[in-house]
A = this chain, B = another copy of it.
Amino acid sequence: VDMKRLQRQIEFLIECERLKTVLRQNSLIHEARRENSAEHSWQLALMAMVLGEHANEKIDSAHVIKMVLIHDLVEVYCGDVFVYDVAAREQKKEHEEAAAQKLFALLPEDQRGEFHDLWREFEEQRTIEARFAAALDRLAPMIANSKNSGGTWRQHNITEDRVRSRTKSIQDGSKNLWQYADQLICEAVRQGNLKSLDSR
């Protein structure tokens, strides 16, 4: 066994472990603390295992699983950007490409391409697998918010129109999941957990 190669792979994994310390905006459903990006990634992978049949086209679910497992890895250098933070999102792309270069360079040369390609596939949204993965990524915090009396929608005074414009792309991956997401939005509005007009 090439112990230098194995050592290198383990160093990459140790760096990736920082994802457990990156906090997202939304809270957990069953505990009053913010979610971290590692447990979020696990949840998306489990969603891919359970919900794969709802994709608009037949998907390679193993490919979706791998994509969601690594889609947030660059946050170990960049942190998480809140989906409604418009200013921060503008600089995001550049920073994240640099972070991907730096992080995947820790891997042995013959493995870098696979990881970088998978990460880029998610970013570019050109395949059905990438669009389905993004649909799961959009849907997960909506479920948390709907179980948490509005959660980040309420905290940040996000209105229905903004939620719809940020989440409607769910239908590009799954019309079924969008139908479900639409129900969550309507319910949240009805319950007063999401404002239907901009009241800032």
Contacts and interface: CB of A to CB of B under 8 A. Distances in A.
Contacts of A179: 1, 3
B29 A14 contact: yes
A143 B10 contact: yes
A3 to B, nearest CB: 7
A58 to B, nearest CB: 16
B35 A20 contact: yes
A28 B1 CA distance: 28
A111 interface: yes
Interface residues of A, number: 49
Number of copies: 2
Interface string A27-46: 01111000110110111011
A45 B20 contact: no
Contacts of A3: 179-180, 183
Given A21-B30, A36-B39, A62-B65, 16 more contacts: A1-B179, A3-B183, A6-B180, A16-B43, A17-B28, A17-B29, A17-B43, A21-B31, A38-B38, A38-B42, A39-B39, A39-B42, A42-B42, A45-B65, A50-B111, A65-B69
